[in-house]
Structure formats: structure tokens, C-alpha cells
Structure 1
């Protein structure tokens, strides 16, 4: 692990930005070819682990548990494949709701980690939720917030779970998984006893694949915490409530064989050996499509950031072209821009959304996110050169960046371009100690950074030229949206509530709600996550305004 300096005065950046009007798509020109899809999906699972408050390889290990249970239950190859990938990416939708979860429970990652200790139903789960509400607030405020939450707990949690399930299906489809995986994920919060959400289905109404995934996920956590006997004890205790009796009985009967060696083996290699499509490789276009899906998934971590990673990738690649860099470097920069923020999933939204200065501990955690990006992606064969660039987006040539404080010649031309692209997009975002800057303001500040020696001057000028916005402002590709509905969609993609949309557009809250409902209907979406993805697809992510 690299040595990290103690935290300085650098504050965490809330990851929100605009997307460039002209998307650069350098597919097919890089040398990082032949990437295995299974490896990319496994890497995504490592990021999901971080957001769940679990160590990396939790999902990989639980996928092995799930596969071994499925084999003992006699599931055919197609259903075993659904089990494998539904387990690997089952909680992918959680991160799209991190902003809302943090608003309710504070540290979203700590809350998710604690849910593994209870049955997630009835009084134990209610007590867990109540213990997190307002945890860092003064006593009187915490009491008020807890009372208010308890009155509407089921409704609020139900909305989050409904959003999670639908978002997980959309993201699964975007990553090219079999439609059966997306359909299974719609039941990921349901329970055998019918006390789950969002639809309260029970028993055999829930696919066996989901019953297996639910037990494997929980069993892995308790296996690490207390060994096989503890995992068996939990399975027995939750039999016929959270877990299917058939699945629980198979696990209890064969637990020793099912978990044999899982705490000692090379889990990455073992899990990939079980991947149903382990030999499938992606061509350059498929790789870029997959990495764009990863970028969109990461950007949903913070509600005001749809299009953030794509925007950085576009500008960095175009700037590289303007500097006549080799086409292979253009492709690597583009991909590095897409994935550079993957480690953000390991930082709580309580930190990303905090107003005012961060504590030393908070700063240190935030400044680890590029390192976490490298940890996640370094195992994917063929991405080595991309990862090397992606981890340096926050470095500065005067050594004031993070996580390693690299200086001058330690940063390549590609590293400097990505850093300039990241810095430019951050200036267009609202920061905890300043409002967002317009295009001219961002350009002036970028040039000030170059003069002060923080950013490379040639890289700054190339990025500003690439983001010059000479092209006409992009409008909606969906002609059915009125100009007002386009404005509403932009604000929805920023995570604005109906009340905030009404205030921004100077209309009544009821009118705003009606606009939102019509936009959802026209786009065939049903929550903010899906609307945000639709906004990205239409070039309507936040801050697309002409910067000239």
C-alpha cells in the first residue's frame, strides 16, 4: 500500500458536474483489448463490497457459497448462472440511494454494515434504524428526528427499497447481464415469510435463485465473524422467516462442505473459475460500453453527479487529441476518466454531502478514494495502463494533491491531462465552501492554478479548449419533452425535491409534481435514479449550460 501523507487543508469535493456537449468516443483505438467481462463484473463487486461496509471479496465469496448451494439443490446451468451474477451484483442498486440513506441514517456505509446483524424485520430492525437516525445530532434534535421517522418508517424504507430494486434491474441490463438477473433482483429485499419489500411476496412466489442469494450474502458475513458454527446458527434462527426453509436446510446440512476453504483460498481466482461466461472477452466497443455503465453506476452515488465521469472522460480524450497524443493514449485517458471515481463508493455520503470543513479523519478517508479505485481495478487483466492514470486524477504537480502527493516528473502527460479535466469539472460544481462557477469563472481559476504551479499549463489550455463549448447547446433527443419538462428533468437529475424544483422554476409545488409525473411517464421511468440515467442518455445531466 502506498504511503499516504496526513490530511492537509484539502477538503472533500462533492462529486457533481456537467457533461460536455460533444461526447468523444475513442472505441477501438486502444491496446487494452481482450478484457474478460467476468473480471470487470468481479471488480464492480469489490466496489459494492466497500459500499456495504464489508471487506473486498465479500460478494465473490458469497457467490461461491451461493453456487455450491445451487448445485446441491439441483439447479440447471442457466439458473446457476443467474444465482452467480445476482449474488455478485445484487446490491448494486443500493449505491444509487446513498444520498437518501445518509439523510435518514447518517453514515450510509455503517448503516448497511449493521443490517447484517439483524433479521431486517419487526422490532429488531426498527430498533436498528432508530439507533442510526440523528446519531450525530444533539440529543433533543435526535429525539425529534427519531419520533418523526418512526411515524413514517415503513413508507420511507419502502420507497428506498423500491428504488433500489428497480435501479438494480436497470444497471444490471446496462452491464449486459442476462435479463433473468434483472428480474431476480426485483425480489432481492423480499422474504420467505412475506414481511419483505417492496411487494410483500412470500414463499415460492420468490425465485429460488433469490432465496439462495439472500442466505449466501448473510452467511458469508457471519462465517467471517464467528466461523461455520455461527453461520449455521444464523441460518437456523432465520429459517422460514428471512430464509427459505429448503435453502436453509441445505446450508445447515452441508455447511462444512459449502464453506470449505473459503477463508483461505484465493477467492478472486476461485470465483472467476465459477463464472458462467469466464472465457468471454470484450472487444474495444464492448469495453467502452461496459466502462460507461460503470461510470454511470458510480455517479449515482451522489445525487448531483449524473454524467460526471463521462464528462471528464470526454474532455480528457478531446484534450489529448488536441495535443496530438497517440491514439492509444487517447483511449486510455478516456477509459481512465470513466473509472477514476470507482473508489468513491468506499466513502460515506455523510462525508460527500457534509457542509463546512471536514475533520482530519474525514479528509483522510476521502483522500483514499483514488487508492481504492486502484485496488478495485488492479486485478482486471489488460487495464493496467488505464488504472495507472485513473489513480492520479487528484494529484497536482506541486505535490499538493492526493493520495500520494506526487510531484512534477512523477506525473506523465496523461496523468496531468486527467488531473486538469478533473479539476475543471469540479470547479463547475457546488462545493461545500463556494457555489459552482460558470464557464468563464472556471477557466480563470484553472489558469490561476496553472500560474501557481498546481496544474500543468499545457494540460490546462488543452482541457479548456476541449471544453470550449463552441458546439450548439445540446437539446433533448426526445422531442416529446417540452422545454419546461427538459428543465424539470435536469433538476430531477440533480436530486432536487418537488419543492426545490418549484422554487428553482418559480412555479407551485403541485405544478412541479405534475411536471415530474409527466416526465416519468414520457420516459417510462419510475424513480430519480432511472430519470438521472435517462438525462445522461439525452445529454441533459446537470450543468450542461453554455459556459461561454
Structure 2
């Protein structure tokens, strides 16, 4: 996006008031043409289990990001999942198919953000278009009218007319290519996040219709998997139930019976609508949907990292300008954290935060992200909310709270000029400062609609300028530049001739560790640890741990508050 101009104090206060209002919001839409109140009924983060997050929790969080890109309040897909399972139970679906229905409902639109760039090129506001798509039976004149209404939106009148004329002549080919790309992307992403091997084939039918007039293959009737037929109905019915009430939901399903929807499923829904939708809008859908999950397996280590990396790739596909961005930030942030001197656990947090820091981008239209002209104040307000959305989404997952805290602050700045909360100074911890610097550097290396990519040298100069302006921490920037190969690592001179390893052992000694514990922490033998301790005592003239600790404090080698 074009470079953000410094915000006056009054403007920052306004942004914070908007943020507070969003935090309290309980309904709304994420369309780029509407206020950013898309948190839906997310509410406070519920108390969950202890330990590693479960796969389904990560996928449920991903569904919240999908909701933003659909122009729906978060938890739309979770409610649609519950409704789909109720329909499946009423239809007597077997347990295996029920499990597939769960994921088909939860992630039916997983590929939608991968075609946002092309969709915005056709219709201006990809999120607004998807929101309006629910309102029509997508065929014939209603669908053509919807597309022509959105084609060229945001352009001056003459250019808009020309764009609509061009689109009318090429609509069939353009939309078919778009849907085919969507289905391919959905399949890849489903595989990457570890779904059943049969799920990509099911998701490829997202835009097929019972009457055979869908895309991309024109499948009809029972050629469309039952799982997708149920997901399609539940997805649309939830939107009308929530926005217009039960009668409107029933009327819509009845009107689309035999066109978009399977007639038997439509009849079943209309007959039992009251029972199927009972309390659906009143319950908290997060725990309710997770309780129905077919797979409650915890993820940890490399398996968790694989899923989070896939989620980051998913976010980056929002625009070709950001493809691969999160992977690069994750690597750079982790290497920077090691150079900075953070412990292994926090390095892992930074790597994971790097992968998912841009998840909230789904809530902003590509009509804004891919804009070549200067951004309006409204554009800036939308952009300045996206890290907050990402933090709220990630914070829903037990075990991901720390990752969410770090990821949500990657656009905050030391002088308080950043967003979304305008935090600064002591309110930003080392990990948050590191991610901000790493993201800023990596972003400079990548092209954007309003500028070409910078060279590594120019990106380094830009980072140093941010330090000079008081926006980024000098230590974090220095560590980024060392990790990026733009600056040589300084070799620290330790007092009393201590080596770097002896300084590390001294810190552990100050923590009260004995030789065996030091050996375990550093993966060395107890004998080697004992030798290090003896050499330390000899060099600094200490006789025991207490005097060694006092020496470390006097020399600034250990800070109890920092751990």
C-alpha cells in the first residue's frame, strides 16, 4: 500500500475509539464498503483446554478469517457448520460422511481469497461482491445483473461503462477461469492443512448447482457430493436466517429448490426449519462447533508448524504482491530473535507469529490492497484494523495467546504512531519490536502496487531511518540487518576475559542452576559444565554462586527482570 502518512494525535484518538467500538461489537459485516464491525459474536476468548492447540481449533480460526473475506460477521461458517450437521443428522447421514460434512461446511470457501486479486480486477470490491452473491440465485439474469452492477465499481462513469461493456462480452470465459482457479486453490489448501484426502474433490464442487448450471464443470444432481450439497444449503440459509429471519431463510431455500439446492434437502429443511435452526443464533458457535469436531487431535512441534505455515500462505494469496511474504518474515524474525538473544521458546513464538501475522488481511478488500493511487482516510481506517482482526482470530485458539499478542502488534511503533492500538515504548516487548522490524524490512524487499521492490541496501537504509525517527528499536533493527546479511555481527568483549559460553553459563548459574542442570540446558556434559563454572570463578575472583551473581549484576551481565 502507499506509504502511510504520520497521523495527528486527534486522528489516532479517533482510530482508538473505533477500535474500542469494534471490540464491543456483536454483529455486523466485513464488507469493505461497510464499517469494520466484523467481529460478529466472537466476544471474549473462552477458557479452553491447556496445552497444544487442536487441528480443528486452528481450522475453526481459519474459518473466522474466511468469514471476513465473505463480507460476513465472524462465526458465520461455524454456525453454518452446526446447521449442516443438524441437516445431516435429520437426513440419517452415516458417521464417516458426517465428518466430511463438518469440514465441507467449515471450509467450503477456503479458496475464495486466492482469487481475490482477479475478482477485484473485475468487480472492484471482492468482499462486497461476495456478500451480495448470497442474495441472488446465481444464474441467468439475476447473476448477470449482480456482476454488471459490480463491474467497474470505483471507476469514473465513462471508464465504468467501458468496463461493463467489456465484461458483458467476456463474462462467461472470465468467470469460468476464476472459479476453476478458486477450486484448484481450495484443493491445495485443504491438503496443506491436513484434511482428508477426499476433501479437495468435495470442495471443487463449491460453485456447482443441482440444475447443472454451475461452474466450473456444470455438474448436476447427485454428481455433486452430498457433503457439498448440504454445505451449500447451510451456508446460504444461515445468512438469511441471521439477516432476515426464519421465514426469509425458508422462502429462499424453497425458491432455490431444484436450481441451486438438492430438492430433497430443500424439502427437509423447509419441513423441519424451526427444529433445525432452534437457538442457532443464540448459542456460542465456537465451543458448540468444536464439540462436534470429528478430530480432536492436538498439534505440536513440526506438525503445528506445518499447519500454521499453510495458514500464512493462505493469507498471502490474498494478493500476488504478498505471495511468500509470511514465510520470509517468519524466517527472518526467528533468525533476528536468535541474534537478539531471545530464548528458544520465544524464538519459536516469533517464527509462528511471522507465519500468521497477516491473517486479518482477509477483512480488507483487494480494491484497497491493490490500489495504485493514494489511499483515502477510509481506506486507512480499514487497513489499520486488520492486525486487530488477526489477533482476535488467533486468540480464540487455546495455546496460541502469546503468538496472537506478538502477531497483532507488528504494525505498532515505539513512538505510538503505529496501529491498530497506537501502543509504544514500554508497552511493546522485545518480540513485538523484532517482528515489527522484520516485517518492515521484508515488506521493503517486495513490490507493491504503488512502488517497485527495494534493494536490500535501500531496505536497510529505510529501516535505519525508522530508527532515527524513533519508530523502530535500534537493537531490533541491528539484529534484523545482521540476520539479513546487511551488517556484520559484533563480537562482544566480555569482562575479565570471559568467553561467550562462560557468560552464558554465568547467567544460568545466577538462576540457581547446578552443574547438571546447566549441562542439560546447554546440551553439554556435566563435566564440561563443571569446568566452565570453575574457570568463571577463577577469572572473576568469586568463591560461590552468590558472589558470582553479584559480579554479574555489577557488570550488567544478568537482569533478573529479563529472566
TM-aligned CA deviation for residue 430 of structure 1: 2.8
Matched, 1:451 2:465: no
1:267 alignment counterpart: 285
**Which of 289, 296, 311 does residue 294 from structure 1 map onto?**
311
TM-aligned CA deviation for residue 435 of structure 1: 2.8
Distance 1:434 1:221 in 2: 39
TM-aligned CA deviation for residue 432 of structure 1: 5.0
- C-alpha deviations, 1:467-498, integer Å up to 9, x for none? 1179xxxxxxxxxxxxxxxxxxxxxxxxxxxx
2:162 alignment counterpart: 144
- C-alpha deviations, 1:302-359, integer Å up to 9, x for none? 1122210011110010011112211110000111111110000000000001112111
**Which of 314, 327, 336 does residue 319 from structure 1 map onto?**
336
Out of 44-53 and 449-458, give the one that drifted further: 449-458
DSSP 3-state at the match of 1:161: helix
Matched, 1:356 2:360: no
Q: Is the 8 A contact 1:370 1:394 kept in 2?
A: yes
1:391-402 alignment, distance < 5 Å = 391-402=408-419
Distance 2:376 2:61 in 1: 30
Distance 1:72 1:182 in 2: 25
Distance 1:298 1:135 in 2: 24
TM-aligned CA deviation for residue 87 of structure 1: 1.0
Q: What's the TM-score, normalizing by structure 2?
A: 0.77
Q: Is the 8 A contact 1:312 1:337 kept in 2?
A: yes
Q: What's the TM-score, normalizing by structure 1?
A: 0.79
Distance 1:34 1:378 in 2: 13
1:406 alignment counterpart: 423
Distance 1:195 1:392 in 2: 46
Q: Is the 8 A contact 2:457 2:486 kept in 1?
A: no
Distance 2:267 2:111 in 1: 29
**Which of 439, 453, 471 does residue 436 from structure 1 map onto?**
453
Q: Is the 8 A contact 1:60 1:88 kept in 2?
A: yes
1:163 alignment counterpart: 181
TM-aligned CA deviation for residue 89 of structure 1: 0.8
Distance 2:13 2:197 in 1: 46
TM-aligned CA deviation for residue 33 of structure 1: 4.8
1:509-548 alignment, distance < 5 Å = none
DSSP 3-state at the match of 2:168: helix
DSSP 3-state at the match of 1:95: helix
TM-aligned CA deviation for residue 68 of structure 1: 0.7
2:78 alignment counterpart: 60
Matched, 1:122 2:140: yes
Distance 2:279 2:201 in 1: 32
Distance 1:434 1:211 in 2: 44
Distance 1:186 1:437 in 2: 38
Distance 1:286 1:144 in 2: 50
DSSP 3-state at the match of 2:129: helix
Matched, 1:203 2:205: no
TM-aligned CA deviation for residue 284 of structure 1: 1.4
TM-aligned CA deviation for residue 431 of structure 1: 4.0
Distance 1:359 1:242 in 2: 39
Higher relative contact order (Cα pairs below 8 Å, separated by 6+ residues): 1
Distance 1:319 1:464 in 2: 8
DSSP 3-state at the match of 1:294: helix
Matched, 1:378 2:400: no
Matched, 1:426 2:443: yes
TM-aligned CA deviation for residue 134 of structure 1: 1.0
Q: Is the 8 A contact 1:5 1:403 kept in 2?
A: no
The structure having more radius of gyration, on CA atoms, is 2
Distance 2:417 2:486 in 1: 30
1:472-483 alignment, distance < 5 Å = none
Distance 1:225 1:35 in 2: 32
DSSP 3-state at the match of 2:463: helix
1:528 alignment counterpart: none
1:334 alignment counterpart: 351
DSSP 3-state at the match of 2:111: helix
Matched, 1:233 2:233: no
Structure 2, unaligned stretches of length 5 or more? 1-10, 17-49, 488-563
Q: Cα RMSD between the aligned structures?
A: 1.6
Structure 1, unaligned stretches of length 5 or more? 9-31, 471-548
1:108 alignment counterpart: 126
Q: Is the 8 A contact 1:169 1:183 kept in 2?
A: yes
1:68-107 alignment, distance < 5 Å = 68-107=86-125
1:191 alignment counterpart: 209
Q: Give the 3 Å change call, closer, same or farther, for CA 211–434 of structure 1 in structure 2.
A: closer
DSSP 3-state at the match of 1:304: helix
DSSP 3-state at the match of 2:245: helix
Q: Is the 8 A contact 1:33 1:282 kept in 2?
A: no
Distance 2:287 2:367 in 1: 34
Distance 2:56 2:277 in 1: 22
TM-aligned CA deviation for residue 183 of structure 1: 1.2
